[in-house]
């Protein structure tokens, strides 16, 4: 139920906040299910813009701009697709009765490396690579020596590998620090230094859950 009308009596709208390649695939599949799609991103002609029913270009870090589009379109579901987004807008949208997938708190945790790492390692007690959060070049050097080389240096907020680098020795730290600050997407005031874990391949696991067997 959204704004007093059952979903089955409304045109179901999915709003993508972020319209990259993944957003494009989501928009295509949503349209195959008969859903209306609205693609929003910070730059014009983003991939999902090209296939959605409607597209908007706004400052994704501006709370008022995000909320204005949400209130205008009244989407059935809001799907954040990028990290560089104003999280407060999502919490406000939820307070106004909109549905954020999975929810604003989950988005807030997963889109911020500090939030998700502290939640996983410190609250849930899950095993993770060694890590330190730093704010200055001096703190970075100390953390890197404690963790050991090679180590991975990232902004707490970024996407698609932006701002990430591997420091193989102390000589690489200055360059890694600059890369992290310059290429961060979103908040660049804090970095994370992680233990380097050798791996052969990466697996992405997608988990889908609904409240009932017929979400639409």
Question: For 134-161, what is each residue's pLDDT tens digit?
Answer: 999 999 999 999 999 999 999 887 666 7
pLDDT in tens, 50-73: 999 999 999 998 999 999 999 999
Instruction: Kindly list the distances between the CA atom of residue 14 and the CA atoms of 101, 136, 155, 198, in Å, as whole numbers in the listed order.
Output: 10, 41, 30, 39
**For residues 185 and 113, is the Cβ–Cβ distance under 8 A?**
no
Residue 216: pLDDT band with limits 50, 70, 90: very low
Q: List the single range of 94-98, 130-134, 179-183, 204-208 with lowest mean pLDDT.
A: 204-208
Reply yes or no on whether the pLDDT at 211 is more than 70: no
């Amino acid at each position: 139920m959204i704004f007093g009308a059952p979903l089955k009596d409304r045109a179901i709208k999915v709003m993508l906040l972020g319209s990259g390649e993944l957003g494009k695939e989501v928009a295509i599949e949503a349209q195959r299910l008969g859903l209306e799609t609205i693609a929003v991103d910070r730059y014009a002609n983003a991939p999902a813009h090209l296939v959605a029913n409607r597209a908007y270009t706004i400052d994704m870090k501006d709370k008022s701009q995000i909320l204005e589009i949400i209130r205008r379109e009244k989407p059935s579901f809001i799907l954040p697709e990028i990290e560089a987004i104003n999280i407060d807008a999502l919490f406000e949208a939820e307070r106004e009765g909109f549905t954020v997938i999975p929810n604003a708190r989950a988005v807030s945790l997963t889109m911020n490396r500090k939030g998700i790492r502290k939640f996983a390692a410190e609250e849930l007690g899950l095993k993770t690579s060694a890590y330190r959060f730093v704010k200055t070049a001096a703190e970075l050097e100390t953390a890197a020596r404690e963790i050991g080389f090679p180590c991975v240096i990232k902004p707490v907020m970024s996407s698609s590998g932006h701002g990430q680098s591997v420091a193989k020795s102390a000589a690489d730290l200055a360059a890694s620090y600059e890369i992290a600050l310059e290429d961060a997407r979103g908040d660049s005031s804090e970095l994370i230094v992680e233990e380097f874990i050798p791996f052969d391949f990466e697996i992405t696991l997608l988990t889908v859950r609904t409240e009932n067997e017929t979400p639409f």
